[in-house]
């Protein structure tokens, strides 16, 4: 049975991070198509931009600084496929 892989992007809504959120979501859609079971976008606050793959935090603006490279997130997703 194929495992369901989920990505969650939590972004600060009042900061206007929607473009970066949508760019990343679009990149993941194009790269992985139906191999991802869902991409959840969570509007939040406080300057947040966090990305988790299958519950594992792979990028946090507070921890890593800035927005993530799409390649980093794609690599994290690929690692889950092969894990």
Q: Where along the sequence are the contacts to other proteins (CB under 8 A)?
A: 8, 10, 14-16, 40, 42, 44-45, 48, 50, 52, 55, 57, 60
How many Å apart are CA 18 and CA 53, to the nearest integer? 19
Tell me how far CA of residue 35 lies from CA of 23, 28, 39, 42, 67, in angstroms.
18, 10, 11, 21, 24
Smallest distance, Å, CB 8 to other proteins? 4
Smallest distance, Å, CB 61 to other proteins? 11
Smallest distance, Å, CB 48 to other proteins? 8
């Amino acid at each position: 049975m194929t495992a369901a892989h989920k990505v969650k992007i939590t972004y600060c809504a009042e900061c206007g991070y929607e473009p970066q959120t949508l760019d990343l979501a679009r990149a993941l859609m194009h790269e992985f198509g139906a191999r991802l079971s869902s991409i959840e976008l969570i509007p939040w606050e406080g300057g947040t931009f966090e990305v988790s793959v299958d519950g594992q935090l792979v990028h946090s603006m507070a921890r890593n600084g800035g927005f993530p490279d799409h390649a980093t997130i794609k690599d994290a997703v690929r690692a889950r496929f092969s894990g």
